[in-house]
A and B are shown apart, each in its own frame.
Chain A
Amino acid sequence: MNILTSLVVIPILTIIAILFTKGLKGARLVSAIGMGVQLLVTAVLLFSYLGLRKAGVTDEMVFTADYTWFKSLNIHYFIGVDGIAVAMLCLTSIVVFAGIFASWEMEYLSREFFISLILLATGVYGFFISLDLFTMFLFYELAVIPMYLLIGVWGSGPKESSAMKLTLMLMGGSALLMVGIFGIYYNSAPDGGPLTFNILEIAKIQMPVEAQRFFFPFTFVGFGILGALFPFHTWSPDGHASAPTAVSMLHAGVLMKLGGYGCFRVAMFLMPEAAQEMAWIFIILTTISVVYGAFGAIWQTDLKFINAYSSVSHCGLVIFALLMMNETGMDGAILQMISHGLMTALFFALIGMIYGRTHTRDVTKMGGLMKVIPFLAVVYMIAGFASLGLPGLSGFVAEMTVFVGAFQHQDMFHRVVTVVVASSIVITAVYILRVVGMILLGPIKDSHHEHLEDAKWFEKLSTVTLVLAVAAIGIAPLWLSDTIISSLKPIVERLAMAIPF
């Protein structure tokens, strides 16, 4: 079996195995084993990918496989990965693995919970390996739907309305996306011949300019909604605040990356002329996202809200950097996706663990937690430092690549907005340090918090996995960055060739 297909099969087998378990203990054990194996397979994939590249394989996509499954519409199960997809798959595996351990004590309907969670992950894996637009869309929907149940059933607070808002807004995005994908499909053979969903095939031709101009906004905004593009980001604070820990981790850590990934793999890659023409609109929107999200985070008092707005800011940077359309900028975007995925998953894991102890997420009601739960507090601080871009952790690498890449743009407009966007590093420091100062440092505010239990082994495992990944990228970013850059070449070349009309 193709190693990529196994990435979809293993989660499905895990789900089937969970059906045969009873209660929490069995379900979590099976999930942990399944996702542990998945993590190993991803690692094998990573090393074999690097091995292939080292051996001089220059194919754009490797490990490809192609099966027709709907002949009359020419829909294929066509899979394959490049360095970017491999990196995203690694991110997914790490976050899912950490997520399983973060929900180790999910007592309520535990089997159903783990099944939904892994189903969501299946969709994500499928999305990243797909090279056929229809299959990709299918997996995309597969990832979004379980979210509704996960928030609606296992959530907290106004969970029904949050779940509804999140799902409806994402479904709205899907609707736009579907229009975009069909638009691409029907224009995939302008010179006659069979229509196709195959991304690589479509990338070889030039879609009619009129069609691009019409369908690009649909596709880009469709993916952009999932990537928390301003002003379509408001599902994020509510959704995250109500979602259970592991779901927030997966959603902010991985699912939101589908948006950014789709933006360049589908929208920009297939419709480069329109991308060149309309980039400025989205650059302005993302610039707003970055600054606005950061300022929005300063005022919040709910830990999850703070992190949700912070995600708006950081994900805005992803799309911003993609639109710079040069190697360095786009490399930065992908690094930022990975970095943000790990960081925000870590944050949500910690918030869940802190909430489980203090029973509040209100920053004004906590204080001095460093004294009582030093392990969690120190990890929270590390996550905070990563978020505000401390060298040695992943955030710095990503942000600096974005800034340098964006500033290399020959156009003055791009450089000016880069300066605006760069100012977010200060605002980020303000809200991160505000939270750290309020909840971790200072005297203990609530006497109930004087005797809390520090992290248990599974919590340590979950957070340490993420911290190690964040630090590894931060300390030795070269191999990752080089892998991404070499995979970006075809996309950047295609964008550079497109002359804006």
Chain B
Amino acid sequence: MTGYAYTILIPMIPLVMFLVTGLLGMKWKPIVSGLLGTIGMGTSWVLSLITAGSYFFGGHHAEGFQTIIPFETTWLRFTETLHINIGVLLDPISVMMLVVITTISFMVHLYSLGYMKGEKGFARFYAFLSLFTFSMLGLVIATNIFQMYIFWELVGVSSFLLIGFYYTKPSAVAASKKAFIVTRFADLGFLIGILILSFVTGTFDFGKLTEPGTAIFGSAASMSFMGISALTWAMTLIFIGGAGKSAMFPLHIWLPDAMEGPTPVSALIHAATMVVAGVFLVARMFPVIHFQAPDAQEIIGYVGGFTSLFAAVIAITQYDIKRVLAFSTLSQLGYMMLALGVSGYGGEEGLGYMASMFHLFTHAMFKALLFLGAGSIIHAVHSNYMYDMGGLRKYLPITHITFLIACLTIAGVPPLSGFFSKDEILVAALHHNKLLFAVEFLVAGLTAFYMFRLYFSVFWGKDRHYHHTPHESPLTMSIPLMFLAVASVFAGFLPFHHLVTSDKMGFDTEMHMAVAAPSVLIGLFGIAMAWILYKKESAVPEKLAQRWGILYTATYNKFYFDEIYLFVTKKIIFNYISRPIAWFDRHIIDGFMVGIGLVTEKIAYQIKGMQSGQLQHYAFMFVAGTLALALSLVYFLM
């Protein structure tokens, strides 16, 4: 148990790096901050690998993997039973996430030494990267749901800071604001979900919540609100939180805009790590969702399925390569959510759960590779747009090969890693829900098509007019590419079904040729279509776009969801709620208060005349008063 005490260092090192580079970085040469951050991250990476090695492969696991808590302390006490602890929890999914986060983060640190070279705010960039990595690590090792919420918020804010890294650019500022507010809205759901969950169970602790056969839900079953059980509310609301971070439809709108951040940031945060936090959250709460709130699990499955289709369709029409990748991320996240939505619990039943985690792992590798590759391309041609690119395979050989590997991986071509993880998801979907299976099958084809549309138009086709001859990136940038390419190729051979499963017990699984073969075929079909349409430049895509008319325009404009967002924030909140309230406050409420003052003043002014100081007035009043009294007396006596 105590053998893992060092794991506390894994998040602490980035925290220290954040404080050091954040406070002192301005005084140093930029490169010092960069190197310091990279070395620190490298240390965390090595520690994570050691942890994973000894956790997964040291000792016997016939009884399943144990949950280990090497460190825990009370941070804030609400009541006797409800308290926020801060600690480290090691179980298969958190250890896996440690590896994913530190690997990608280290690669991005290394890559950024080249990519961000000479940028203003280099030290700031590294400070924020460290802050993000710290928060993300704290999130995955959370021992209780409130610790997760704490780091969840910190992750959100580091994402905000990094998206808005180029803070003088209005579009970056707007994007960072949008990302923060949309996810904050989702976090409100998460928070209320936590409140309900803690109210009915009296605990935040993951151990107590997810223990098999636990009795804490005993009294909860009878509680309901508006005809829906309290736990379904809680889990659905918590899922909304996850959907915000993982950019599930309809909260996906912030992610494409988040591409305003520097490309390494997109690779780290908006492709490989932060956006899978929602998937991780659902996986963490999986036993509760599966047993206590099956309705919520249904919702998760359908939201995931719809998002993956929706995003894949949009990805086909985009021209900004980072946006294509962003929508591709959305689509793949949909896959992971869907897999959790269709999963059962325990052994082979829990295939979807295993597949989701597996896909999370492989996706992190190949999507980070795609983004870093895109960064390398952008670095070379100084544009984000596909129509400014073409024929780059001659100039960027390493980028070209690694990018091709990543494309093949995401398209699900065997024996690359994406094939294995996607295959498991499809099998799980087939067993559970035919409709979702059909959707995913279609999306597999679309994925292959839009990725190779991107690949062919960037690396093949005609040369464009470049400002200077594009050249391959420096070594600090190409080493991460090569490393991630290798990881993408071989990650599929990891025995995930023995390591990361719903009940922490390994199970055996085999290839499902009936699913694998068609899915590979549709992937190849997608690639072939892209080859025909985009390998050589032709007018066909243009014509097709025109043929589809409105549908194409709607897709190109992302089905106008950004406009809806703007309508809600600018028009409704700003103009129709806030403005009337401000007016009401100034004119009605304050007007009333001022009115009291004015009335007092007016009355005082009116009666002031009586105190004129002139004797004849007083004498007149005196006589008039006496007369009035006398007359009234007479009147009443009569």
Q: State whether B168 touches A441 (Cβ < 8 A).
A: yes
Mask, B403-423, CB within 8 Å of A = 1, is 000000000000000000000
Q: How distant is the Cα of A400 from the Cα of B198 in the complex, in angstroms?
A: 13
Cross-chain contact A426 with B184 (CB below 8 angstroms): yes
1/0 per residue A414-448: CB within 8 Å of B?
A: 01001100110110011001100100111100000
Residues A296 and B170 in contact, CB atoms below 8 Å apart: no
Contacts of A419 in B (CB 8 A): 192, 195
Q: Which residues of B contact A296 (CB under 8 A)?
A: 578, 581-582, 585
Interface residues of A in 381-440 (CB under 8 A from B): 385, 388-392, 396-397, 400-401, 403-405, 407-408, 415, 418-419, 422-423, 425-426, 429-430, 433-434, 437, 440
B551 interface contact, C-beta 8 A: no
- The answer to whether B150 touches A396, judged by C-beta atoms less than 8 angstroms apart, is yes
Binds A, one of B265-273, B587-595, B609-617: B587-595
- Report whether A392 and B154 are in contact in the complex, using a CB–CB cutoff of 8 Å: yes
* Closest chain B residue to A164, Cβ basis: B597
Question: Contact between B76 and A292 (Cβ–Cβ < 8 Å)?
Answer: no
A477 touches B76 (CB 8 A): yes
Q: When chains A and B are docked, how far (Å) is the Cα of A343 from the Cα of B82?
A: 27
Q: How far is the CB of A476 from chain B (nearest CB, A)?
A: 8
Chain B hits for A201, CB < 8 A: none
Which residues of B have CB within 8 Å of A368? 168
Instruction: Kindly state the interface size class of chain B when it binds its partner.
Output: 35 or more
Complex interface bits, A481-495 against B, C-beta within 8 A gives 1, otherwise 0: 110010000000000
Say whether B79 contacts A328, CB under 8 Å.
Answer: yes
State in angstroms the CA–CA spacing of A17 and B220 once bound together: 65
Is A408's CB under 8 angstroms from B199's CB? yes
Do A404 and B177 contact each other (CB < 8 Å), given the known contacts A234-B590, A299-B582, A443-B170?
no
Q: Check A300 for interface membership: any CB of B closer than 8 A.
A: yes
Which chain B residue shows the least CB distance to A409?
Answer: B199
> Is A182 among interface residues, defined by CB-CB distance under 8 A?
no
A231 with B79, Cβ < 8 A, contacts A299-B578, A415-B199, A429-B184 known? no
Task: State in angstroms the CA–CA spacing of A442 and B167 once bound together.
Answer: 6
Chain B: CB-nearest residue to A418: B195
Given contacts A370-B167, A429-B180, A441-B173, A327 and B79 within 8 Å (CB-CB): yes
Interface pair A430/B153, CB less than 8 Å apart? no
Given contacts A385-B157, A430-B181, A442 and B188 within 8 Å (CB-CB):
no
**Is the pair A391, B151 in contact by a Cβ cutoff of 8 Å?**
yes
CB neighbors of A among B433-470 (8 A): none
Q: Which of B178-213 contact A (CB under 8 A)?
A: 180-181, 184-185, 187-188, 191-192, 195-196, 198-199
Assuming A391-B154, A430-B573, is B76 touching A397 (CB within 8 A)? yes
- Residue in chain B with minimal CB distance to A297: B578
Q: Is the CB of A478 within 8 A of B577?
A: no
B75 and A433 contacting across the interface, CB-CB below 8 Å: no
With a cutoff of 8 Å between Cβ atoms, the chain A residues found around residue B146 in the complex are: 400
Known: A295-B577, A423-B188. A481 touches B154 (CB 8 A): no
B569: nearest chain-A partner, CB-CB? A430
With a CB–CB cut-off of 8 A, which chain A residues contact B174? 437
- B574 at interface by CB-CB < 8 Å: yes
A178 within 8 A of B: no
Q: Does B606 contact A (CB under 8 A)?
A: no
Cβ B191 vs Cβ A403 within 8 A: yes
A contact residues around B589 at 8 Å (CB): 231, 234
For A299, A370, A391, A423, the residue with the greatest tally of chain B CB atoms inside 10 Å of its CB is A391
B579 lies within 8 A of chain A by Cβ: yes
Q: Collect the chain A residues with CB atoms within 8 Å of residue B78's CB.
A: 328, 401, 404-405, 408
| A16 within 8 A of partner (CB) | no
Given A298-B578, A408-B199, check contact A481 B170 (CB 8 Å).
no
Q: Tell yes or no: B74 within 8 A of A by CB.
A: yes
A425 to B156, CA, bound (A): 14
Residues of chain B lying within 8 A (CB to CB) of residue A391? 150-151, 153-154
Complex contact A295–B590 (CB within 8 A)? no
Tell me the bound Cα distance from A397 to B154 in angstroms. 14
The distance in angstroms between the C-alpha atoms of A299 and B597, with both chains bound, is 27
Say yes or no: is A73 at the interface (Cβ < 8 Å to chain B): no
Would you call A433 and B594 a contact (CB within 8 A)?
A: no
Report how far A169 CA is from B164 CA in the complex, Å. Answer: 43
Contact status A408-B79, CB under 8 Å: yes
A481 and B77 within 8 A (CB): yes
User: Does A460 count as interface, using CB distance less than 8 angstroms?
Assistant: no
Whether B593 contacts A407 by the Cβ 8 Å rule is: no
* 8 Å CB contact of A168 from B77, B173, B578, B597: B597
Q: What is the CA–CA distance of A231 and B84 in the complex, to the nearest angstrom?
A: 36
Residues of B near A53 (CB, < 8 A) are none
- B444, chain A: closest CB distance, angstroms: 37
Contact with B along A459-501 (1 / 0, CB 8 A): 0000000000000000001100110010000000000000000
B601-621 CB contacts (< 8 Å) to partner A = none
Q: Is A371 in contact with chain B by the CB < 8 A criterion?
A: yes
Question: In the complex, are the beta carbons of B188 and A422 less than 8 A apart?
Answer: yes
| A165 at the binding interface (Cβ < 8 Å) | yes
Q: A425-B191, A478-B74 are in contact. List 11 more A-B contacts (CB 8 A).
A: A231-B592, A295-B581, A296-B578, A396-B153, A400-B84, A401-B76, A407-B195, A408-B82, A430-B569, A441-B164, A442-B169
Residues on B facing A (Cβ under 8 Å)? 74-79, 82, 84, 146, 150-151, 153-154, 157, 164, 167-170, 173-174, 177, 180-181, 184-185, 187-188, 191-192, 195-196, 198-199, 569, 573-574, 577-579, 581-582, 585, 589-590, 592-594, 597
Some 17 contacts from A to B, beta carbons below 8 A apart, are A165-B597, A169-B593, A292-B581, A298-B573, A388-B184, A389-B153, A391-B154, A401-B78, A403-B195, A404-B78, A422-B191, A433-B181, A440-B167, A441-B168, A442-B169, A443-B168, A485-B77
Q: Which A residues lie at the B interface, using CB under 8 A? A: 164-165, 168-169, 231-232, 234-235, 238, 292, 295-296, 298-300, 327-328, 368, 370-371, 385, 388-392, 396-397, 400-401, 403-405, 407-408, 415, 418-419, 422-423, 425-426, 429-430, 433-434, 437, 440-443, 477-478, 481-482, 485
Which 5 pairs show the lowest CB-CB distances between chains A and B? A234-B590, A298-B578, A299-B582, A391-B150, A299-B578
